[in-house]
Chains A and B, each alone.
Chain A
Amino acid sequence: MTTISNETIVSDSVEALDAHPTPGLPVTATIPKAKGKNRAGRWVPPVLVFLAIVGVWYLISLFVLDPHLRFLLPLPQDILIKGLIDPLSFNALIVALYQTVIVSMLGLAIAIVIGIVWAVAMSQAKWIERSLFPYAVILQCIPILALVPLIGFWFGYEFQSRVLVCVMIALFPMVNNTLFGLQSVDKGHRELFKLQGAGRLTTLVKLSFPAALPAIFAGMRISAGLAVVGAIVGDQFFRRGTPGLGILISNYSSRLQGEQLFATIITAALFGVLIFWLFGLIGRRAVGKWYDFN
């Protein structure tokens, strides 16, 4: 490129830009944030709803249920003391939670890798998509219960099979979202790359994949939640080896240990919420600068 001095143009333009910003369009990105006085307004209603739920809980537990049926809905403090703080319950809970975390996160990781590779392959040619997409749908539609005996035969009734259930449940959103993201690349952007004679791999790496990231992270968040569900469901079918939260839940329920049962269910739910929130955070961190990821 030839060097041409354009000092006057430059200074004129920048001043002009500063002096007359285009109406309605911000010169710099300023995202308004709710602060201070709004904080109370944001937190009071959810807290009130939570207190109301606990109130109803106490009412039912104390005044509706007979004391000998109280295991159906134990008092919150009993759940806390007997189900959580009690060393025996606590140890069992931590061991099971650890197992569930391992199973679900391993399943999720495998689902993410397979899902992205699968979708990238399908995005390369219509015939590949036509040949491979039906299996993603089948995988999504087939009841896991129907495959339980087969998975058991092939992979045993322990860890491996639980991970497999996680993968099967978490895979579809990854495949579907990644494919959607890769196929939604702006036509102008595609033509921009085409005009420069960019190859398939370059276009994938520099355009399609980055453009698909918001969809991929949205899929990841859904899959993460499903992986936790998968780990608990997998526990119910494949009960050998170290118990996860699912096995603990089923044990406590058969022994009518209401307090421990509730503590475990709440732990499982909180873990699911935590994972969903965590992957939302990862998504926001990754693409939030240029995409409104919520």
Chain B
Amino acid sequence: MTVTAPAPSATTAARTDTLLDFSNVEMTFPDGTIALQGVDLVVRRGEFVTVVGPSGCGKSTLLRIASGLETASDGTATLGTDRIGYVFQDATLLPWRNVTANVELLAELHGESKKERAAKALEAIDMVGLKGFEKHLPKALSGGMKMRASLARSLTLDPELFLFDEPFGALDEITRERLNDELIRLFNAKNFAGLFITHSVSEAVYMSTKVVVMSGRPGTIVETFDVPFAQPRDPEIRFTPEYAALVGEVAHALRKGHGHS
């Protein structure tokens, strides 16, 4: 297994369109559990790819390999950029830092000057709609607002590839839909490529340009669906028959992959 990081000049000179390329990736844990098997997946610039699958199918493992948190046992994972944003399942805000200080954290870890990171944080906070909450501590924020802060934190990296590990899974339906819309807006505004993990089929179809369905353990890709709806998405498409039909197809593939056909 190799994770190929781009050469330092790659992002400036030859801007590649393939930002993530998984080829025959396999993941076997030390206890013998096979989490992923023969996974081929490509994420290109301008794509928002969502992976849906049952719990424990290795969706998150896929993301952890892409980010470098884990190393695959076999196959190759090639990254086309070193500007990667990662949004965790939890907001993972440091409870002792206020919103601004949390959003500044990544730039701070990269040794950027106070002025630089303050400017980045200000812009990112603005972008996720948390203006006015800069001085709030995480415990004073709602679940949705925490997630916004977490999103803002990753935005300061100006990522080309954005990895999302079920970020809205713990939120209520209304907040979740609102954040789906905001994320789509950010996707269109910032032009990053997204790899989004979720177990919600409707969320997957609504947000992405491509939906990848995974089977239960060991996780393999069962089917890939191109989502034909135009970006930026109109929230009203959720109520169209085409949308419902596609959700149905994806859900069907998901059930098949899980052995419930």
Other-chain residue from B92, B137, B148 in contact with A29 (beta carbon distance below 8 A): B137
Other-chain residue from A3, A25, A210 in contact with B94 (beta carbon distance below 8 A): A210
A143 close to B (CB within 8 Å): no
A273 close to B (CB within 8 Å): no
A195 close to B (CB within 8 Å): yes
Q: Is the CB of B140 within 8 A of A27?
A: yes
A240 close to B (CB within 8 Å): no
A17 close to B (CB within 8 Å): yes
Interface residue ranges of B81-97 to A (CB < 8 Å): 84, 86, 88-90, 92, 94-96
Considering the complex, give the chain B residue whose CB is closest to the CB of A199: B109
Q: Is the CB of B92 within 8 A of A192?
A: yes
A81 close to B (CB within 8 Å): no
**Docked pose: A202 CA to B111 CA in angstroms:** 11
Considering the complex, give the chain B residue whose CB is closest to the CB of A213: B96
A26 close to B (CB within 8 Å): yes
Q: Which one of B26-34, B46-54, B121-129, B220-228 is at the interface?
A: B121-129
Q: Is the CB of B175 within 8 A of A13?
A: no
Give B155 Cβ to nearest chain A Cβ, in Å: 8
A191 close to B (CB within 8 Å): yes
Q: Which one of B11-19, B182-190, B208-216, B242-250 is at the interface?
A: B182-190
For A285, the chain B residues whose CB sits under 8 A away are: none
A10 close to B (CB within 8 Å): yes
B194 close to A (CB within 8 Å): no
Interface residue ranges of A167-197 to B (CB < 8 Å): 186, 188-189, 191-197
Q: Is the CB of A4 within 8 A of B129?
A: no
Q: Is the CB of B88 within 8 A of A10?
A: no
A39 close to B (CB within 8 Å): no
**Docked pose: A239 CA to B173 CA in angstroms:** 71
Q: Is the CB of A194 within 8 A of B143?
A: no
**Docked pose: A198 CA to B92 CA in angstroms:** 16
Q: What sequence of 0s and 1s flags, for each residue 119-143 of chain B, a beta carbon within 8 Å of any chain A beta carbon?
A: 0100110111111100011111111
For A13, the chain B residues whose CB sits under 8 A away are: 128-130, 148, 182
For A193, the chain B residues whose CB sits under 8 A away are: 109
Interface size on A, residues (CB 8 A): 42
Q: What sequence of 0s and 1s flags, for each residue 168-187 of chain B, a beta carbon within 8 Å of any chain A beta carbon?
A: 00011011001000100100
For A10, the chain B residues whose CB sits under 8 A away are: 126-127, 129, 131
Interface residue ranges of A1-29 to B (CB < 8 Å): 1-4, 6, 9-10, 12-14, 16-17, 20-23, 25-29
Q: Is the CB of B142 within 8 A of A27?
A: yes
A287 close to B (CB within 8 Å): yes
Q: Is the CB of B131 within 8 A of A14?
A: yes
Q: Is the CB of A28 within 8 A of B140?
A: yes
Q: Is the CB of A14 within 8 A of B120?
A: no
A192 with B88, Cβ < 8 A, contacts A13-B182, A23-B172, A25-B143 known: yes
Q: Is the CB of A6 within 8 A of B127?
A: yes
Q: Is the CB of B142 within 8 A of A1?
A: no
**Docked pose: A197 CA to B111 CA in angstroms:** 11
For A195, the chain B residues whose CB sits under 8 A away are: 67-69, 84, 86
Considering the complex, give the chain B residue whose CB is closest to the CB of A197: B109
- Which of B88, B109, B141, B189 counts the most A-chain CB atoms under 10 A from its CB? B109
A289 close to B (CB within 8 Å): yes
For A98, the chain B residues whose CB sits under 8 A away are: none
Q: Is the CB of A191 within 8 A of B88?
A: yes
Q: Is the CB of B109 within 8 A of A1?
A: no
Q: Is the CB of B106 within 8 A of A196?
A: yes
For B189, the chain A residues whose CB sits under 8 A away are: 4, 6
For B115, the chain A residues whose CB sits under 8 A away are: none
A200 close to B (CB within 8 Å): no
Q: Is the CB of B129 within 8 A of A12?
A: yes
**Docked pose: A196 CA to B111 CA in angstroms:** 11
Give A87 Cβ to nearest chain B Cβ, in Å: 50
Give B34 Cβ to nearest chain A Cβ, in Å: 23
Q: Is the CB of B143 within 8 A of A206?
A: no
B71 close to A (CB within 8 Å): no
| Sample (20) of A-B pairs whose CB atoms are under 8 Å apart | A1-B155, A4-B189, A6-B126, A6-B189, A9-B129, A22-B171, A22-B175, A25-B141, A27-B145, A29-B136, A192-B105, A194-B69, A195-B69, A195-B84, A196-B109, A196-B110, A206-B108, A289-B96, A290-B95, A290-B138
